[in-house]
């Protein structure tokens, strides 16, 4: 069974978005997201990013689809013609994962990343396919209209990846910290 990881930045009130955008501006955190979701154990393979429709359209137009990753959008309302040719469209997370497993792509996949939004994160954390949650804890409250679901009790903090910066980071007066939780 193909597994996946989640990656998200969450502020103290569990917020992850406002009006379809990030409520904060942290260049180093965006770079961490890009680097992490592109890092591969095997350079001959590729990574997959799975996201909901609103998350996809929340990415600045000049940055989507996300470079150097297979992009999968989950939607029951979009039509394939509404997305670029190289973006896969599926009606659910499980349908996307089954497609990736059944296609000849599975042998070419290094890591699958769930990158948002709220409903996709909830479904992903409840799935037996879920392996890890890469969490950036932003140590400040921001006004948000989209929130990260409660993290189930079966997620436990584990040793971070060697490439991760440890301890509290700071940019533009905003403190944040990288954590990795694994589903037990």
Which positions are annotated as active-site residues? 22, 29
Q: At 53, phi and psi to the nearest 5?
A: -55, -50
CA-to-CA distance for 133 and 136, rounded, in angstroms?
10
- At what angle are helices 93-102 and 118-126 packed, to 10 degrees? 60
Residues belonging to the chain = 184
Closest-CA residue to 91 (of 101, 102, 80): 80
| Strand partners for 153 | none
Contact (Cβ atoms closer than 8 angstroms) between residue 150 and residue 121: no
CB 49 within 8 A of CB 115: yes
């Amino acid at each position: 069974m193909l597994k996946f990881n989640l990656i998200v930045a969450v502020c103290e009130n569990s917020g992850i978005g406002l009006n379809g955008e990030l409520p904060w501006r942290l260049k180093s955190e965006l770079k961490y997201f890009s680097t992490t979701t592109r890092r591969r154990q095997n350079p001959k393979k590729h990574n997959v990013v799975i996201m909901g429709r609103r998350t996809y359209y929340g990415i600045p137009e000049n940055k989507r689809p996300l470079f150097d990753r297979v992009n999968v959008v989950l939607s029951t309302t979009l039509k394939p013609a509404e997305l670029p040719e190289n973006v896969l469209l599926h009606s659910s997370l499980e349908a996307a994962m089954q497609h990736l497993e059944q296609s000849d792509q599975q042998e070419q996949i290094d890591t699958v990343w769930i990158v948002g939004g709220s409903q996709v994160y909830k479904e992903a954390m409840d799935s037996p396919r879920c392996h890890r949650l890469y969490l950036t804890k932003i140590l400040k409250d921001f006004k948000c209209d989209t929130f990260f679901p409660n993290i189930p009790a079966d997620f436990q903090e584990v040793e971070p990846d060697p490439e991760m910066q440890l301890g509290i980071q700071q940019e533009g007066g905003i403190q944040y910290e990288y954590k990795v939780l694994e589903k037990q």
